[in-house]
Amino acid sequence: MPELPEVETVKRGLNRLAQGICVKDVTVTWPAIVQISDELTDFRQAMRGQTLQDVERRGKFLIFNWSDVIWVSHLRMEGKYLLPEHKEVVDKYTHVILELEDGRDLRYRDVRKFGRIKCYPKQQKEAAINALHLGPEPQEVTGEELFNAFQRTKRAIKPCLLDQHIIAGIGNIYADEILWESQIHPETLAANLSEAQCVQLAAAMATIIKRAIEKGGTTVRTYTNALGENGHYQDELKVYGREGLPCARCHNTIEKIKVAQRGTHFCPYCQRIGE
Ligand SMILES: [Zn+2]
């Protein structure tokens, strides 16, 4: 599942390759992927003639700014945007096709069909983004903000980092990496973290997310980013997917446990509860 750095990489790719594209016609083959707000009567009608101004990102969401409408798009597990020539064959996993004036298509491909594109009139942009109730971005949040948010929960730190309302954009891979970097055990109750630990956590988030964006995100298994490019942060992972291997800091063995139903990688020596 793409997390903030992978979605940011997609955003940058779209801004490089798709800014200014103009939509000639639209085909949707799996209607559940596209949702339109009540003010719009028809997706095809709303999209014809639209020009893409740019793409922004908030948490793991892509915000497409078209001339009169916006899209709020979530890739979920395996959603991808592609920009092939119009004449290229459309495979059975491609569910939304925008035929463009320049001879290409903007295609949305999603093997598992979990992703969503929500289309709103432009005037509703702010309301649509607010309705996502996203927490701050991990590169911007302060230790004090984290400390205050954690006082309101009885949960462990790992599920708090995955909670998009507390902090937007972190998923399973970067949560494990951030906790290792901060030397915090993933089962530590978030409310028990000191202000100093929260400051350390905020710094680790900023450093890791920035570095992962520079490396184009992480490519695990067969997931390539939405424009078919591979990221390289997997070469720098310290704990994720490294159970049984030595910790880069202390050389003890990385373990994998379940925390709040999620596979969680950590170093039992560097990351201890209550220290
Ligand atoms: Zn260690």
CA dihedral over 132, 205, 209, 223, signed as positive or negative: negative
State the average pLDDT over residues 248-262: 97
Q: Is the model more confident about 235 or about 177?
A: 177
Q: ipTM of the assembly?
A: 0.99
The CA 159 to ligand 1 mean position distance, Å, reads 21
Q: Indicate the average pLDDT of the chain.
A: 94
Active site residue 3: yes
Q: Is the model more confident about 172 or about 273?
A: 172
pLDDT at residue 213, as a whole number: 95
Active site residue 158: no
Confidence of residue 116 (pLDDT cuts 50, 70, 90): very high
How do the domains of the chain map onto residue ranges? 4-130, 143-266
Is 112 known as a binding-site position?
yes
Q: Is residue 121 helix, strand or coil?
A: strand
The CA 101 to ligand 1 mean position distance, Å, reads 55
Give the tens place of pLDDT for each residue, 41-80.
Answer: 999 999 999 999 999 999 999 999 999 999 999 999 889 9
The CA 185 to ligand 1 mean position distance, Å, reads 11
The domain 4-130 is placed in CATH, from the list 3.20.190.10, 3.30.70.100, 3.40.50.620, 3.40.50.300, at 3.20.190.10
Question: Taking the CA of residue 238 as centre, how many other CA atoms within 13 Å lie in the half-sphere pointing to its CB?
Answer: 23
Active site residue 211: no
| Residue 150 Cα distances to 58, 130, 144, 192, angstroms | 22, 21, 10, 8
Alpha helices for the chain (secondary structure H): 4-17, 43-47, 125-130, 143-150, 157-162, 172-182, 195-214
pLDDT at residue 78, as a whole number: 86
Choose the catalytic residue: 24, 48, 58, 262.
Answer: 262
The amino acid occupying position 93 is Y
pLDDT at residue 227, as a whole number: 67
Q: Is the pLDDT of residue 275 over 60?
A: no
User: Residue with structure tokens 């594209």?
Assistant: 21
The CA 249 to ligand 1 mean position distance, Å, reads 5
The amino acid occupying position 11 is K
pLDDT at residue 222, as a whole number: 54
| DSSP type of residue 230 | P
Q: Quick count: other Cβ atoms within 10 Å of Cβ 270? A: 22
Residue 204 tokens, joined = 């680790």
Q: Are strands 116-121 and 34-36 parallel, antiparallel or unpaired?
A: parallel
Report yes or no: 124 and 72 within 8 Å, Cβ to Cβ: no
Q: Is the pLDDT of residue 226 over 80?
A: no
Choose the catalytic residue: 60, 104, 158, 238.
Answer: 60
The CA 250 to ligand 1 mean position distance, Å, reads 4
pLDDT at residue 219, as a whole number: 84
The CA 221 to ligand 1 mean position distance, Å, reads 25
pLDDT at residue 220, as a whole number: 74
Active site residue 92: no
| DSSP type of residue 194 | -
Residue 65 tokens, joined = 């700014």
The domain 143-266 is placed in CATH, from the list 3.40.50.2000, 1.10.8.50, 3.40.920.10, 2.60.120.10, at 1.10.8.50
